[in-house]
Amino acid sequence: MVDIVGGKESEFNWAALYVRSLDDLVGKLSDLTLNLEHFDAEVGKFNYEIAAIIIENIFIRLWGHLKETERENGRTLKKQLDAAITKLPIFQVKKSHTLQGIRERRVLNQENYKIISTLLFEFQLDIIDWIEKHKLGTPAKKDPSKAVIDF
C-alpha cells in the first residue's frame, strides 16, 4: 500500500505495526498481572479475565508463525484457562447478617486464584517464548537485523 503524504510517497509498514501491536498487548498484559483480582468497572471484568482475553488475542496474532506443536500447546492452555475461569471463580460472595441487614462481600478463594494465576503465567511464558523464538519482538539494539521490521 502506498500513501501520498505532502507530495511524497510513503509505504505502509505492516510489520512495524504488527510488532508495535504485540508489544502493546504484552505491556498491557504485564500491567494487568500486577493485580489480577482488581475489578475494572469500565470493562465489567476482573483483570484476570481481561488478561486471559489478551493472551488469547496474542495467541491468535502469533498463529501463522507457530509450529503445529506450539499451536496444540496453546490450544490446550487456552482450554485449561477457559475451564478454570468458568468453573473456579477467584471470588466467593460471603453474606453476613448485621444490624443494617444482610451484607455481602467478596472473599478471595486462594486455591482458585493460585490455579488461574499459574495458568496465566504458564501461557504468558509460552507467548513470550514464541515471540522471541520466531523473532517477532522488538529487536535488541545490538542486533537490529533480527527484527521483523527494517531499521
Separation between Cα atoms, residue 47 and residue 3, nearest integer Å = 39
- Rounded Cα distance between 19 and 147, Å, is 9
The confidence score (pLDDT) of residue 21 equals 86
pLDDT of residue 136: 84
Tell me if 151 is assigned to some domain: no
Write out the residue range of the structural domain in which residue 54 sits: 2-146
**Number of domains composing the chain:** 1
Tell whether the model's pLDDT for residue 151 goes beyond 50. no
Does 80 have pLDDT greater than 50?
A: yes
CA dihedral 57, 59, 62, 65 (to 10 degrees): -160
Q: Is 70 exceeded by the pLDDT of residue 46? A: yes
pLDDT tier for residue 31 given thresholds of 50, 70 and 90: very high
Residue 48 lies in a domain: yes
Note the pLDDT tens digit of each residue in 114-144.
999 999 999 999 999 999 999 887 655 555 5
Q: Residue 107 in contact with residue 98, Cβ under 8 Å?
A: no
Q: Residue 42: inside a domain, yes or no?
A: yes
